[in-house]
Structures are given as structure tokens and as C-alpha cells.
């Protein structure tokens, strides 16, 4: 997990006496730096070390640091071993991010034999992607990479935004929550969601509209509102626990690490993240846990919640 690297980078940008440099590039490093660069021009002073500059160019991180929409250099490994850095500013980008995660999993697993696992991961990640346009005005990024060695392959996925943070959103529905760590823990509970239920009377905004064509008094929804079921973090952490993965969640001054053995480690951080940062690692060798016939009660509940 690369959460320490992210916090070190943030600290360097705030301290004029320290060199601001990126020593290596991973999904959480690239998404965090890109999201921060949108709202804080001091991050545009960051530079990559020579040994990771080529990869930063390929995934679009160099462009993101400069304040541009990341594009990256064409590579046949895109969709095979990594995804380019993608900004989640429109529903079409959400669908594209979901598809690239599916492509990565299909490229590194047996798509037919591991269909249940692939669908579950894509659905869970899709819930997290939906949250960015819903809660952070599109100031968020997604990236993923598959790492393989002689032991096996693992997927590292990260999504980071510069929205209002979890505590702000949670307190809209539960005023008893007081701290960033409490807000993270609240979101990990079953049936806890800040998503607003739809009444059926809403008007759908066309996907190609930048501004709603309806009067202010009309309640509107977009395409991502319509398939956003909520409980994304509960689904994610339950899935992680069942297949012995890891996940790190950071919002405000609160951070929570869930290890492969299910151990939770919460801490208050010196560096504040104004938004939400999530990094997860999945051992793709554990895919059969979702595809071996009988699902555990927890996995079955996730499947039902996501409509699998």
C-alpha cells in the first residue's frame, strides 16, 4: 500500500524547504496528485524522477500535474496491465472507467470461469466511480494497474477526489457523527448510505447536457444517479475481507487501513485530505472465492445488493 508516499508528497508541496518530487508512480499516487492539482496550483510544481517519468507520461499524470485533462501516450498495455489516469467529470467517463476495470480483469483472469468475481469487482468499483460526480463536482480521478510476478497477479485500484469529504456528507444524514474517522466507520456499516432515494418524479437530465434544461424547482437526476445504489464502501470492504485483500481510506484527518486478515487500523493524520482517497489491492488468485459455487453469506449479500 502506497498511502505513506501520498502523504509524503502532500507534505513536500506544503513545505518550501523540501524538494517536491514524485519518486514512483502508482494508482493512488497518480490519482491523489492529479486531484490536488485541479484545485491547488502548488501541486503543479511537482516533478517526477527520471526513472518514473516515462510511465507518468504514458498514463497521463504529467498532463494532470500541468492542470490539463490527462490523455497519456498510446500503449498496447492500456487495458491489459494498467488504465490511464481518468478524470470522472461526466457520466460517460464513469462508464469508461468501469469498462477499463472490466478489461483489466478479463485480460488477467479467465473471463468465463471468473465471471462472478469480475462482475462483483466492476459493480463495487462502479459504485465508487458514481460517488465522484455525485459528491465532488467531478474533481476526482481513477486509475488501476495489475502487477504480476512468479507468485501471481494482484490488482491495485485507486480513486481520489477533492470534494467536501466524508464527514460533511455523513452529517447530512447523521448529526451524531463528529470525527473523520467516525464518518469512515459509519460508511462501512450495512445499510448506511448518503445516497438520496429516488421518488420517481424526477426529470432526467440528458447525458450531453452541461447545464440542466429544467427550472430550478424541478428535481433532476443524471444517468449515474439512476443506477447508484449506495453502500459502496460497505460492499467494497466486505468483498475485500472475504477475498483477503487490503483497502486504505483517507478523508479529512481520518485514515483507516483494513489488512488481508481483516484487521482495522484507524489513525488521525497530521496531513489533511479535503475529499476522499481510496486505495485497494486484490489478489487475483482469490477470484475463485466468488466463483466456486456456494457463496458465503457475506458474498451472497453483496451479490444481491448489486443485482448480480
19-71: pLDDT as tens digits: 667 888 899 999 999 988 888 887 777 888 899 999 999 999 999 988 888 98
Confidence of residue 18 (pLDDT cuts 50, 70, 90): low
What integer pLDDT is reported at residue 144 of this predicted model?
95
Contact 291, 113 (CB under 8 A): yes
What integer pLDDT is reported at residue 102 of this predicted model?
92
What integer pLDDT is reported at residue 277 of this predicted model?
92
Task: Pick the range with the lowest mean pLDDT from 22-26, 27-31, 221-225, 253-257.
Answer: 221-225
Model pTM?
Answer: 0.83
As a whole number of angstroms, the distance between CA 308 and CA 224 comes to 18
What integer pLDDT is reported at residue 15 of this predicted model?
61
Percent of all residues in the chain with a pLDDT value above 70, rounded to a whole number: 77
Contact 232, 151 (CB under 8 A): no
Contact 138, 90 (CB under 8 A): yes
What does the block give as the cell for 103?
478489461
As a whole number of angstroms, the distance between CA 107 and CA 80 comes to 6
What integer pLDDT is reported at residue 226 of this predicted model?
44
As a whole number of angstroms, the distance between CA 22 and CA 65 comes to 11
Segment holding 255, helix H or strand E: strand 246-258
Mean pLDDT of the chain: 80
* DSSP string across 14-27: H-TTS--EE----H
pLDDT digits 0-9 by tens, 58-94: 999 999 988 888 989 989 999 999 999 998 877 677 8
As a whole number of angstroms, the distance between CA 16 and CA 37 comes to 17
As a whole number of angstroms, the distance between CA 55 and CA 71 comes to 13
Amino acid at each position: 500500500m502506497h498511502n505513506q508516499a501520498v502523504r509524503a508528497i502532500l507534505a513536500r508541496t506544503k513545505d518550501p524547504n523540501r524538494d517536491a518530487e514524485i519518486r514512483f508512480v502508482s494508482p493512488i499516487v497518480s490519482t491523489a496528485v492529479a486531484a490536488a492539482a485541479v484545485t491547488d496550483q502548488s501541486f503543479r510544481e511537482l516533478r517526477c524522477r527520471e526513472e518514473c517519468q516515462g510511465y507518468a507520461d504514458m498514463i497521463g499524470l504529467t498532463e494532470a500535474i500541468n492542470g490539463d485533462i490527462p490523455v497519456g501516450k498510446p500503449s498496447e498495455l492500456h487495458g491489459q496491465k494498467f488504465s490511464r489516469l481518468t478524470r470522472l467529470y461526466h457520466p460517460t467517463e464513469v462508464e469508461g472507467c468501469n469498462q477499463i476495470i472490466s478489461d483489466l480483469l478479463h485480460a488477467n483472469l479467465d473471463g468465463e470461469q471468473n465471471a462472478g468475481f469480475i462482475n462483483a469487482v466492476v459493480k463495487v468499483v462502479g459504485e465508487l466511480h458514481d460517488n465522484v460526480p455525485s459528491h465532488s463536482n467531478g474533481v476526482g480521478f481513477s486509475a488501476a494497474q495489475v502487477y504480476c510476478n512468479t507468485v501471481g497477479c494482484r490488482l491495485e485500484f485507486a480513486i481520489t477526489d477533492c470534494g467536501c469529504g466524508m464527514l460533511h456528507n455523513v452529517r447530512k444524514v447523521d448529526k451524531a457523527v463528529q470525527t473523520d474517522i467516525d464518518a469512515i466507520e459509519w460508511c462501512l456499516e450495512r445499510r448506511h448510505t448518503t445516497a438520496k432515494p429516488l421518488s420517481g418524479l424526477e426529470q432526467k437530465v440528458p447525458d450531453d447536457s452541461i447545464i440542466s434544461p429544467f427550472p430550478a424547482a424541478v428535481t433532476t437526476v443524471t444517468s449515474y444517479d439512476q443506477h447508484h445504489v449506495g453502500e459502496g464502501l460497505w460492499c467494497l470492504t466486505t468483498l475485500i475481507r472475504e477475498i483477503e485483500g487490503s483497502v486504505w481510506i483517507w478523508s479529512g484527518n481520518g485514515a483507516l487501513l483494513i489488512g488481508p486478515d481483516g484487521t482495522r487500523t484507524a489513525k488521525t493524520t497530521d496531513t489533511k485530505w479535503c475529499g476522499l482517497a481510496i486505495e485497494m489491492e486484490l489478489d487475483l488468485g482469490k477470484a475463485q472465492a466468488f466463483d466456486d459455487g456456494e457463496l458465503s453469506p457475506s458474498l451472497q449479500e453483496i451479490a444481491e445488493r448489486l443485482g448480480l
